[in-house]
Structure 1
Amino acid sequence: MLPHLLLLQLVGYAAAASIQPRAKSSSCACGYRDSNGHVWRESIVSNFAGSNALGVVQQNWAVQTWGQQREYQYIQYSADNVYNYQNALGVRTKAWKGNGTSVSTGEIQTNRADILYGTFRMSAKIPTTPGVCFGFFTYYSDSQETDIEFLTNDTNSKHTVHYTNQPRTTSASSQEVVVSNDLTAFNVHRLDWLPTQTMFYLNNKQMRTISLDVPNTPSRMLANVWSDGDPEWSMGPPKADAIATIQYINLYFNSTSYNETAFNSACKQSGKPAVCQV
């Protein structure tokens, strides 16, 4: 698989330098325990269900508007490809108009670039239109990235998930999994990023664990739908709109901005409430 070659804007990095940890809810001041017993200090919980999905995005996410020339086509991320859609959040690649025009794509990324390990969950329907890649992933660089991806040109696209740690130095860093679930319906996709491995889940069932090329750098979380016409990956561009529908993205994580000492102090000051189960 070819890397994304994403372009993170310098302005985003400048903003990240001034980010402070969000004030934690007193009810979860002692953190969030996942199903494997790991306790995470912080959270970003984004419920897009209802008619105000775009308003929820604006609380903790940035809608991307950058462009890049790829080998096959120019792609342009556009704000109008992230929008309220069917009582959820729509992220779209528009129908391509033909040679000489850019491919209009959609992407959101967390405002925070200081996330270092955590458990990340997304409830979503994948697009049904052939010719795009739908991704949910951590990202710092093309060599510091973990992906959950769906290729709608896969022969069995409704049932195939691609799990990868970049830069994929060996074939064992990437796993293609065929599942029984219909991925064009809502399913919960989960990525647990740990120091020594990444663990991938579908509807709370563990599907794969990858212990090679594990990222170790503070990162953002992203979700996007894109195509550049690459015959070895995204295929396309799509002949009709390709829309991912996202009900929620819930992130539970540690960061480089909120250390264990500060976390323990906040927990104590809040009266040591029970750790929240997630």
Structure 2
Amino acid sequence: MLHYLILAPLLAVAAASAVSERATSSCPCGYRDSAGHIWRESIKSNLATSNALSVVNQDWAVQTWGQQRDNVYMQYSADNVYNVQNVLGIRTKAWSGNGSVYTGEIQTNRADIQYGSFRIKAKIPTAKGACFGFFSYQSDTQESDIEFLTNDTNFKHTVHYSNQPNHQTVTASADFTAFTEHRFDWMPGQTTFYVNGAKQTSMTANTPTAASRILANVWSDGDPNWSMGPPKTNAVALIQYINLYFNSTSYDATHFASDCKAAGSPAVCQV
């Protein structure tokens, strides 16, 4: 199901700024994930703090766009991304039954991310009638998703994976209403999904190829075939961290190798 429209303007990321970011990194020779892939760059957002929003504002943009859906007008608003319980909260507010549904979303400032290993440690919402998503996005056909639907019968253990428009639904042993790490590794030709480091499934059809942003959101538009709702009580996802390890179109392998050598070729960081 296609349910995203990114209305914020795309921000160009200059190669010089990306190189500068990597040159001052504590891991100048990159990051090796558990599958053995080495990624050249990272964005690590530790949100387990009383001022998580200040961390978000370093590398992410809080969204404020709106869109008329089939059932309601859905409005992303800044007050639905907020500090709570020493972590970051993203929510869809309780809906009265009339008017707009107010939702929350963040997206990376960078739109040049192309392949990587992307992790979020979070508690999913429990209020019925909402969708919590963590995904890459360039367009409706260039998108990989991890999504949780609170109206699923077994929602504490059910996760939906996709390379749009292809979907798979997985039931895991972990309780997603406790803090759980969810991860997708986006590779050329394949996306692999994990829960707490354990592989759940891989998808090869429709794997994205375009440079993208990474997003996290909690939303509802009353769609009876997906989000259902909107929720009658606040639907809140709590997030401890979002760690992104990736390559980009702004920092190529040649510059990466040169920077690694200039730094003395230290060991690759394990992630």
> TM-score, normalized by length of structure 2?
0.97
Q: Deviations over 1:127-157 (max 9, x none)?
A: 0100000000000010000000000001111
Does residue 1:16 correspond to 2:51, yes or no? no
Separation in 2, partners of 1:247, 1:17: 27
1:7 deviation in Å? Answer: 2.5
1:54 corresponds in structure 2 to 53
Question: Which residue pairs with 1:33 in the alignment?
Answer: 32
Which of 112, 135, 151 pairs up with 2:149?
151
Cα distance, 1:176 vs structure 2: 0.4
Within 1, Cα distance between the matches of 2:270 and 2:109?
25
Choose which of 224, 228, 235 in structure 1 pairs with 2:217: 224
Amino acid at match of 2:264: G
Other-structure match for 2:111: 113
Separation (CA, whole Å) in 1 of partners of 2:139 and 2:45 = 24
Q: 1:210 is matched with which residue?
A: 203
- 2 CA distance for matches of 1:153 and 1:252? 32
Residue 125 of structure 1 is matched in structure 2 by 123
> Do residues 177 (structure 1) and 176 (structure 2) align?
no
**Match of residue 261 from structure 1:** 254
Does structure 2 conserve the Cα–Cα contact (< 8 Å) formed by 1:49 and 1:88? yes
Residue of structure 2 in register with 1:245 after alignment: 238
In structure 2, the residue matched to 1:142 is 140
SS in 2 for 1:9: coil
Q: Is the Cα–Cα contact under 8 Å of residues 134 and 150 in structure 1 kept in the other structure?
A: yes
C-alpha distance 26-113 of structure 1, shift in aligned 2 (>3 A): closer
Deviation at 1:6, TM superposition (A): 1.7
What is the rounded CA distance, in whole Å, between the counterparts of 1:85 and 1:27 in structure 2? Answer: 30
Q: 1:45 is matched with which residue?
A: 44
The list of structure 1 runs, each at least 4 consecutive aligned residues, that deviate by more than 4 angstroms after superposition, is none
Note if contact 1:49-1:247 (Cα within 8 Å) is conserved in structure 2: yes
Cα distance in structure 1, aligned partners of 2:209 and 2:57:
27
Residue 159 of structure 2 is matched in structure 1 by 161
Paired amino acid for 1:88: V
The offset of 1:26, in angstroms, is 4.5
Residue aligned with 1:59, SS: helix
Contact 2:89 2:238 in 1 (8 A): yes
- Tell me the residue number matched to 2:65: 66
Q: State the alpha-carbon separation in 2 of the partners of residues 59 and 207 from structure 1.
A: 31
TM-score by length of 1: 0.94
1:148-183 Cα shifts (integer Å, max 9, x gaps) = 0000001111110000111x2xxxx31101112111
SS at structure 2 position matched to 1:16: coil
* Equivalent residue number for residue 5 of structure 2: 6
Q: Output the CA distance in 2 between the equivalents of 1:33 and 1:17.
A: 24
- What is the aligned length? 268
Task: From the superposition, tell whether residues 74 and 260 of structure 1 become closer, same or farther in structure 2 (CA, over 3 Å).
Answer: same
Task: Return the alpha-carbon distance in structure 2 between the equivalents of residues 65 and 117 of structure 1.
Answer: 27
Supply the AA of the counterpart residue of 1:16: A
- The AA in structure 2 aligned to 1:266 is D
Corresponding position of 1:102: 100
Match for residue 191 of structure 1? 184
Deviation sequence 1:75-94 (CA, Å, 0-9, x none): 00000000011110000000
- Structure 2: which 5+ runs fail to align? none
Unaligned stretches of 5+ in structure 1?
none
In the TM superposition, residue 18 of structure 1 has moved relative to its aligned partner by 4.2
Contact kept in structure 1, 2:14 and 2:250, CA below 8 Å: no
